[in-house]
């Protein structure tokens, strides 16, 4: 079945460092791909999305490119801030049916040191 695998955390970086959180997927057809962010004690917020191959989603300095050839959707940011500390979830929505549920990776906890 469809699934999402993302890099295990926790990931700890210094402020202004470059961030990559890896995400790969297995899916039938052409899924839509998402990154969600969860700040402590809060719900999930959509960070960015891409709906077809080679699309790049971007928001708040974060980017991810839908790579069909490598079945990947890695999250990147050039210079992280302390306020980026959160848990990041990669997710996919299967493209073969409207009666589909979004499937999440296990989440990656990111901590940024001042």
Choice from 21, 49, 73, 74 touching other proteins (CB under 8 A): 49
Torsion region of 47: left, alpha or beta (phi above 0 gives left; psi -120 to 50 gives alpha): alpha
- CA-closest candidate to residue 23, choices 109, 105, 112, 110: 105
Rounded distance between C-alpha atoms, residue 30 and residue 53, angstroms = 8
Task: Closer to other proteins by CB, 43 or 114: give it.
Answer: 43
Rounded distance between C-alpha atoms, residue 68 and residue 107, angstroms = 21
Q: Does 73 bind other proteins (CB under 8 A)?
A: no
Choice from 23, 89, 110, 112 touching other proteins (CB under 8 A): 89
Which residues, numbered 28-47, are part of the site for other proteins (CB under 8 A)?
A: 30-32, 34, 36, 42-46
Task: Closer to other proteins by CB, 69 or 99: give it.
Answer: 99
Residue the block writes with tokens 């962010």: 37
The residues binding other proteins (CB under 8 A) are 30-32, 34, 36, 42-46, 49, 51-52, 89, 93-96, 98-107
């Amino acid at each position: 079945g469809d699934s999402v695998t993302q890099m295990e955390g926790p990931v700890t970086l210094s402020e202004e460092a470059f961030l990559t959180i890896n995400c790969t997927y297995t899916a039938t057809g052409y899924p839509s791909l998402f990154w969600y962010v969860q700040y402590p004690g809060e719900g999930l917020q959509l960070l960015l999305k891409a709906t077809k191959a080679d699309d790049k989603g971007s928001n708040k300095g974060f980017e991810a490119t839908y790579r069909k050839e490598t079945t990947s959707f890695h999250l990147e940011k050039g210079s992280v801030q302390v306020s980026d500390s959160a848990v990041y979830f990669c997710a996919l929505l299967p493209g073969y049916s409207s009666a589909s549920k979004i499937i999440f990776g296990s989440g990656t906890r990111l901590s940024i040191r001042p």
